[in-house]
Amino acid sequence: MEYLNTKEFAHQMDSTDPLRSYRDQFYFPKHTNGEQAIYLCGNSLGLQPKSAKRYIEAVLHDWRYLGVKGHFEGEHPFTTYHEVLGEQMARIVGGRKEEVVAMNSLTVNLHLMMVSFYRPEQGRYKILIEKNAFPSDQYAVKSQLEFHGYDPKDGLLELEPRAGEDILRTEDILDLIKAKGNEIALIMIGGLNYYTGQAYDMEKITEMGHKMGCMVGFDLAHGAGNLNLSLHDWDVDFAVWCTYKYMNSGPGGIAGCFVHQRHLQRKDLRRFAGWWGHDKATRFLMDDTFVPIQGAEGWQMSNETVLSMAALKASLEIFEEVGMKAIVKKSRLLTRYLEFLIEELKSDRIQIITPKQTDARGAQLSIRVINSDKSLFKAISEKGVIADWREPDVIRIAPAPLYNSFMDVFNFVEILRTELRI
C-alpha cells in the first residue's frame, strides 16, 4: 500500500477500516485539557472494554444472590468460569482447547512450567535466554538454576545481537542452539522482545531446539493477542503469557498457559500439585491422592479469582467476534503507517530499532532517542500522548488495532514533529 503523509489520508483509512466500530467499545483516558488522550501503550496495559463492568457486575450479582451456590448455579458458575476463557485463548495462541488454561500470573506460571520442563542432568543443565529479556524472566530462570544447585554464571546462556546491531539474527540463534544444544536443557525466550519489539521465529527455534534434544518454551507476554501464533503446530513444549496487555484484562489480570498435547498424559513430568488441578469427577471427594486433569488444567493449583476472569471474558468476547486474522491484518497496516510517518520526519535524533519485516514484529515500534535524556518523552506526554519509556533511551509506541486509529498515529507523529523542532 502507498501511504500519504496527510490528515486526509488518515481519515480515509479510518473511514474504510472494517474494525473502526470497535474503538467505541473501549474507554480512553483523558488528557489534562479534557481531550481524549492519544493512547499508544497497549503493549503495557490495554484499555478497558466498556463491557467489563457488566461482566464483573454479573459475578457480583451471583455472589450476592447465590452465595456459595454460585459455584455450581447461575449462568456462569464459578467452578467452570475459566473453561470458556481457556478455549477462547486457545484460538488466539493457536492451541487446542485442552492445551490452554487461564490461571495465576505470568511469572508464577513460568515457574510452574519450569518445574515440569526444566529437567537438568549431568552435562545438560543450561538455560538459553535473550540477554535483554524482560527482567522478570531473567530473575525466574536464574532462580531456577540456583534452586537446582547451578551457578547462573555458568548455567545461563544469553543470546545477544552482533556488535553494532540491536536485534537478533535468526541464523545466529539457530547456530548457537546447534553449537551448544547438547548442554542446553531448556530454551526459554520471549516470543516478542519487550524492548526492541522483535518477534522471533518461534517455529524454527523450536524445531532446532528439539533436534538438539532441548525443551522449548516461550514467554508470550507481548505476543499473545498481538501476533499470529500456532503453538500446537509449531510443536512448542509450553508457553506462558499475561493478558493485561493486548488482551485488555485489566491491571494484574489473570494469565494464560499452554502445554502441548503430547505432554498432557505424561506421568513422568514433575509438577507442583494443587486441588484445582485434580480430576474434576473426583475433586470434591477430597481424596489425598492427586489425579491430574488430562489437560493444561492439570497444572492448576487453586481456584482462580472469578472477578478478575470476568474482565478478561469481556475482552475475549471481542477477540472471538473479530478474530486474530483481522486483528493482525489491521495491526500491520497501522504499524507500517506509523513507520512511514516517522521515516518522513528524516530526523537524526531518532531511530527505529524494531525490525522492518512485518512478520518479525507486532503492534510496536521502539524508537531510540539519540544522545537524549527523557526530555523528548516528557514533552510528548505533556501534549497528551500516553506511551512508554524504557531506559536508557527508547520510547515504545504500540498502536493496538482493536481501538487505535490511523488518526491516532498521524496526530502522534505531528506532536513528535513539533517536539523535534522539524
The pLDDT tens digits of the residues spanning 192-234 come to 999 999 999 999 999 999 999 999 999 999 999 999 999 999 9
Query: Range(s) for CATH 3.40.640.10 in the chain?
Result: 56-320
Q: Looking at residue 137, what is its pLDDT? A: 96
Q: How does residue 274 score in pLDDT terms, banded at 50, 70 and 90? A: very high
Q: Looking at residue 34, what is its pLDDT? A: 85
What average pLDDT does range 282-294 have in this prediction?
88
Query: Range(s) for CATH 3.90.1150.10 in the chain?
Result: 7-36+323-419
> Is residue 301 over pLDDT 80?
yes
d(CA 282, CA 345): 64
Do 202 and 230 touch, CB atoms closer than 8 A? no
Mean of the per-residue pLDDT values of the chain: 96
**Predicted TM-score of the model (pTM):** 0.96
Q: Looking at residue 267, what is its pLDDT? A: 85
Q: Looking at residue 32, what is its pLDDT? A: 84
56-320, which class in CATH? alpha beta
Cis peptide before 392 (omega within 30 of 0): yes
Looking at this protein, which amino acid is placed at residue 94? G
Q: Locate 353 and state its grid cell.
A: 530499532
Q: Which of 194, 304, 188 is nearest to 256 (CA)?
A: 304
> Is residue 356 over pLDDT 80?
yes
Pinpoint the alpha helices (H) of 94-230. 106-117, 135-147, 152-155, 170-180, 202-211
Q: How does residue 284 score in pLDDT terms, banded at 50, 70 and 90? A: confident
Q: Looking at residue 216, what is its pLDDT? A: 98
The pLDDT tens digits of the residues spanning 107-150 come to 999 999 999 999 999 999 999 999 999 999 999 999 999 999 99
**Grid cell 520510547 — which residue?**
395
d(CA 265, CA 178): 29
Q: How does residue 281 score in pLDDT terms, banded at 50, 70 and 90? A: confident
What average pLDDT does range 393-411 have in this prediction?
98
Q: How does residue 33 score in pLDDT terms, banded at 50, 70 and 90? A: confident
d(CA 393, CA 326): 33
Q: Looking at residue 148, what is its pLDDT? A: 97
What architecture is domain 7-36+323-419? Alpha-Beta Complex (3.90)
Q: Locate 371 and state its grid cell.
A: 544522545
Percent above pLDDT 90 for the chain: 93
Q: Looking at residue 285, what is its pLDDT? A: 86
CA distances for 234 relative to 177, 202, 218, 258, angstroms? 17, 8, 12, 12
The pLDDT tens digits of the residues spanning 137-147 come to 999 999 999 99
More confident residue, 289 or 230: 230
Q: Looking at residue 220, what is its pLDDT? A: 98
Q: Looking at residue 138, what is its pLDDT? A: 96
What average pLDDT does range 262-267 have in this prediction?
92
The pLDDT tens digits of the residues spanning 358-380 come to 999 999 999 999 987 899 999 99
- Taking phi first (over 0 means left), then psi (-120 to 50 degrees means alpha), and beta for anything else, what does residue 74 get? left
Q: How does residue 395 score in pLDDT terms, banded at 50, 70 and 90? A: very high
Residue 215, beta-bridge partner list: 186
The pLDDT tens digits of the residues spanning 171-180 come to 999 999 999 9
